Amino acid sequence: MSRILSSTTVGIVGGGPAGLMLSHLLQVAGIESVVIETRPREEIEHTHRAGILERDSVRLLVDSGVSDRVLRDGHEHRGIDLRFGGTSHRIDFQGLVGASTWLYPQTDVFLDLADARQRDGGDVRYAVTGTSVVDVTSDRPGMLFTDSAGAEHEVRCDVLVGADGSRSMTRSSVEGRTEYFRQYPFAWFGILCEAPPSAEELIYARGDAGFALISSRTDAIQRMYFQCSPEESVDDWSEDRIWSELQGRLAGEDGFTLTEGRIFEKTVLPFRSYVCEPMRHGNLLLAGDAAHTVPPTGAKGLNLALADVRVLAEVLERFVRKSDSSALDDYTDRALTRVWKAQNFSYWMTTLLHALPGATHFDARRQLAELESVVGSVGGSTYLAEAYTGWPTRSERGLSPGRSCR
């Protein structure tokens, strides 16, 4: 069978939030792209991922014209609760840094982006197979794939973007890369249940038996997690056992209890930190999970992917419009500054709240003192509030005066 040859300006491997957002931003800038994705659209729609958007992620969705549904269907959270020693301590994001986050599941972000691409006539090919990238260091790199109807394609482009997730295939073309990696000795046990919310905002809890997180999806569906062993099997956990574990980790003198309900999904989530440097090789640039993974404690994964493509769209515009080939050189440094800050924050939140296997009494007391230091002063809480709501996009260094806008 002969290959169908075509060309575009930017070839994007991966049709998750990073790939679709980039394709959207490029179209706004008048730049053509083709997105290819191995999963069918319906499969991505049913993948449950994290649910918290930083203030600038919300702005990007709304201001770039993807959709303003997040402002209607999302829930603004003006803070979170840190819970330890049996009591809750509120971190007031609005009071500390004048910013909020939004509870808006990744599935909804994907739906908005996929609908916007369809609405605007974007070229997105779902359910492709046999993908490979070729000639990435030449000025005419290409993506090869077989479409869902079985036809073979070769798309040549000016630039290729690898936005193909944590099991990235495109990443292997970044020759000479350095990979930074950290494995953690625990995982998260995640559930979805049919119940009303137990709290108005997220609760990050440190119990003696380990971490727990109380999040939400809708008024009728709740998302909760508790720290478990990476080898844990979901089949060993009955509903009763799950509820007694979660209730135990949240219990305290204030009498707080979770509202229970039927559990309809159980998953063990892997936990690791990873960075690939550089994020570029020749005319191939990596974005999102393809280049970095963070533990979910800081809710940074999706937000980092969106921050990458915001930078990438700017860089590509300069490259394409002004034929400025040095533009691509800026990408790695600009993106990595935020990536490593998010790595540090996610690692810090993780070690602040999880029970580390083999921890001594000293370690446990020290951890409680660290939590007391965070909640006990404006200085302690402000780092958390600033990092959690997202560092300002324009100035990566410290608060900008425009911060009053939430």
Name the site residues for ligand PHB (rule: CB under 6 A). 50-52, 202, 213, 215, 223, 296-297, 299
Query: What's the closest the beta carbon of residue 254 comes to ligand PHB, in angstroms?
Result: 22
> What strands, in cross-sheet order, belong to the sheet with 210-216?
87-92, 79-84, 203-207, 210-216, 221-228, 187-194, 262-269
Question: For residues 102 and 306, is the Cβ–Cβ distance under 8 A?
Answer: no
List the beta strands (DSSP E) in 163-202: 178-183, 187-194
Q: What's the min distance (Å) between Cβ of 185 and ligand PHB?
A: 19
Q: Which is nearer to ligand PHB, 223 or 334 (CB)?
A: 223
- Closest approach, Cβ 378 to ligand PHB, in A, equals 23
- The catalytic residue among 197, 281, 388, 392 is 388
Say whether 296 is catalytic: yes
Element (H, E) at 118: helix 106-119
In whole angstroms, what is the distance from residue 71 CA to residue 82 CA? 26
CB-nearer residue toward ligand PHB: 107 or 337: 107
The catalytic residue among 17, 24, 77, 197 is 77
- For the question of residue 388 being annotated catalytic, the response is yes
Query: Minimum Å distance from CB 192 to ligand PHB?
Result: 9
In 322-400, which ranges are continuous DSSP H helix? 327-353, 361-375, 378-389
Of 7 and 107, which CB lies nearer to ligand PHB in the complex structure?
107
Shortest Å, Cβ 143 to ligand PHB: 32
Q: Which is nearer to ligand PHB, 46 or 397 (CB)?
A: 46
HSE of 350, CA atoms in CB hemisphere, 13 A? 24
Separation between Cα atoms, residue 37 and residue 39, nearest integer Å = 6
Contacts from 310-316 at CB under 8 Å and sequence distance 24+? 310/25, 310/60, 310/393, 311/335, 312/22, 312/161, 312/285, 312/287, 313/22, 313/25, 313/26, 313/29, 315/285, 316/10, 316/26, 316/29, 316/31, 316/159
Q: Is 300 a catalytic residue?
A: yes
Which segments of 185-328 are extended strands (E)?
A: 187-194, 203-207, 210-216, 221-228, 262-269, 272-277, 280-281, 284-286, 292-293
CB of 248 to ligand PHB, least distance (A): 20
Helices (H), 203-258: 239-250
Q: Minimum distance from CB of 275 to ligand PHB (Å)? A: 19
* Cβ-based nearer residue to ligand PHB, 309 or 353: 353
349 Cβ contact list (under 8 Å, min separation 6): 204, 297, 298, 384
Catalytic hit among 296, 331, 354, 392: 296
d(CA 367, CA 361): 10
Q: Which is nearer to ligand PHB, 12 or 191 (CB)?
A: 191
In the complex with ligand PHB, which residue's Cβ is closer, 141 or 301? 301
Q: Annotated catalytic residue: which of 153, 281, 300, 354?
A: 300
Contact 250, 83 (CB under 8 A): yes
State the DSSP H helix or E strand holding residue 73, giving kind and residue range, or none if neither: helix 69-73
Q: Could you say which of 204, 225, 292, 354 is catalytic? A: 204
Active site residues: 77, 204, 296, 300, 388
